[in-house]
Amino acid sequence: MNYRHAFHAGNFADVIKHIALARILTYLHEKPAAFRVIDTHAGAGLYDLTGSEAERGGEWRTGIARLMQARLSERVMMLVAPYLDIVRAFNPHRDLTAYPGSPLVTRALLRPQDRLVACELEPNTRRQLINALYNDQQARVVDLDGWTALPAFVPPNERRGLVLIDPPFESRDEFTRLANGFSAAHAKWPTGIFLLWYPGKDRRANDSLADHVARVANAGSSDARCLRVEFSVGPQTEDSGLMSAGLLIVNPPWTLADELRAVLHELEKPLGLGGAGRFRVEAIRA
């Protein structure tokens, strides 16, 4: 499949991914030492929900728009508040007109000592990203293919942080590249947090990727160091659009699994098509 950020900005998959991203970064705030975030396929940074690309599918209407209107428990509202506050900051008026991608979600949660490296190869998209970040001194936009950057930028000097790997899945071998790219980066930085996103259209490919990542992450350890998170808004068929997406989180914060279970349980109804949402959050071993 071809998952281009601009066409799907603010959809259910973005919502789940960015909630998880915000929870991880909030956890990293608990220690004063600096951290670095490396975003390997960063995209444009900010997406116009009134533009032709976002309007073509209108997926944000059943994603972020529904979340903004959902009635959530006090605990879950507290957990998603860092993410929703960022979205609201880009939409100061009542209507949703803009959606921040992962670089801007990340930038909003950096402290003065923290840094972001955002990789984007496509020239027009990279220019948009540079404009979105206003040449911020804490955020570096790199003209480099994400698969090349992945092993090159780890471990960071800070020795703490997160690698977000969210490719567009334009080529048939993207799952293989994701598995191999993660393995190479993890070998150099086994203590880093890794957040891998994947579309849920091919169960065999999903399971193979999860098995590979868990085997690498758990090598030599009795603990399960890989968390598998999936969310479906409805039955996935060959002819349907994206109905399911997943995250593999290596070295997750110890609170994350319980937090995501609480959040996703309350998002099944508002994000599911006809209330048919489903989720899974489980620690996995190879």
Instruction: Name the residues annotated as catalytic.
Output: 166
- Alpha helix segments (H runs only) across the chain: 5-8, 12-28, 52-57, 64-69, 74-89, 102-108, 123-133, 146-152, 174-188, 203-218, 256-271
* Strand 36-39, strand 161-165: pairing: parallel
Longest dimension (CA), the chain: 52
The token pair that represents 195 in the structure block: 């957040």
With a CB cutoff of 8 Å and minimum separation 6, the contacts of 209 are 175, 178, 179, 196, 198, 248
Collapse the DSSP code of 59 into the 3-class scheme (helix H, G, I; strand E, B; otherwise coil) and give the result: helix
Ramachandran quadrant class, 169 (left: phi over 0; alpha: psi -120 to 50; beta: rest): left
Collapse the DSSP code of 173 into the 3-class scheme (helix H, G, I; strand E, B; otherwise coil) and give the result: coil
In the block, residue with structure tokens 């060959």: 238
65: Cα separation from own chain's centroid: 18
CA distances, 273 to each of 167, 183, 199, 217, 232 (Å): 25, 36, 17, 34, 9
**CA distance linking residue 248 with residue 246, whole number of Å:** 7
